[in-house]
Amino acid sequence: MRKRLQLIKEALSIGVVTRKYPFIPAEVPEGFRGLPQFDASKCIGCTACGNVCTPNAITFVDDTSLGIRRLEYYLGRCIFCGRCADVCPTSAITITKEFELASLNDRDLRLVIDIKLIKCQSCGRYFTTFRHLNTVAGKLQEGVVDLVNICPECRRKLALDSLIKLGGLK
């Protein structure tokens, strides 16, 4: 019995630990993985984040009739692992500390980014985004830069043709 009374004494000495949230903002520690923020002006549509996303919260669909690559981010499927931000080559995705994400409908949990696609100069099919191409071209040496506007399949054919012309293959 005495022990139980001690427990009451102890509880009184600890006092109230309850936090006042939502009336005052919550403390979020440094490095908390919250909402991924997409900076559309930096996105080049390279699909790296889509490949690494475990729950397929980030998906890419190429719509050739409109000539766009559509990035769809579905917050309702996200597991907040932050892998997308790790792999993004242009740092277009940053992990914020935002966690108050409740929504009254499904649509508000979605983000859509449409990125224009570019056609292959040789075969005329869409193959990648204009921005992706620009970034890649900026990193290449002169001489190969003009090959950038051609899709990988055509490039392979072209390379083979030039080899044959050189007499390397018969």
Closest CA to 127 of 101, 148, 105, 103: 148
Alpha helices in 15-68 (DSSP H): 48-52
Residue 63 interacting with another protein (CB under 8 A): no
State the Cα–Cα distance between residues 74 and 86, nearest whole angstrom: 18
Minimum distance, C-beta of residue 138 to another protein, in the bound complex (Å): 16
For residue 167, the one-letter residue type is G
> With binding defined as CB under 8 A, does residue 137 bind another protein?
no
Which of 101-109, 120-128, 139-147, 156-164 is the region at the interface with another protein (rule: CB under 8 A)?
Answer: 101-109
Choose which of 47, 59, 75, 150 interacts with another protein (CB under 8 A): 75
Complex with another protein: residue 80 or 120, whichever CB lies closer = 80
Three-state DSSP at 56 gives coil
Residues 26 and 76: their CA atoms lie apart, in Å, by 22
Beta-carbon neighbour count of residue 71 at 10 Å?
21
What span, in angstroms and rounded, lies between the C-alpha atoms of 122 and 148? 11
Give the interface segment with another protein, choosing from 52-60, 119-127, 144-152, 157-165 (CB under 8 A): 52-60
- For position 106 contacting another protein by CB under 8 A, the verdict is yes
| Residues of the shown chain interacting with another protein in the complex, contacts defined by CB under 8 A | 3-4, 6-7, 10-11, 14, 17-19, 21-22, 26, 29-33, 35, 40-41, 43, 52, 54-56, 68, 74-83, 86, 98-116, 130-131
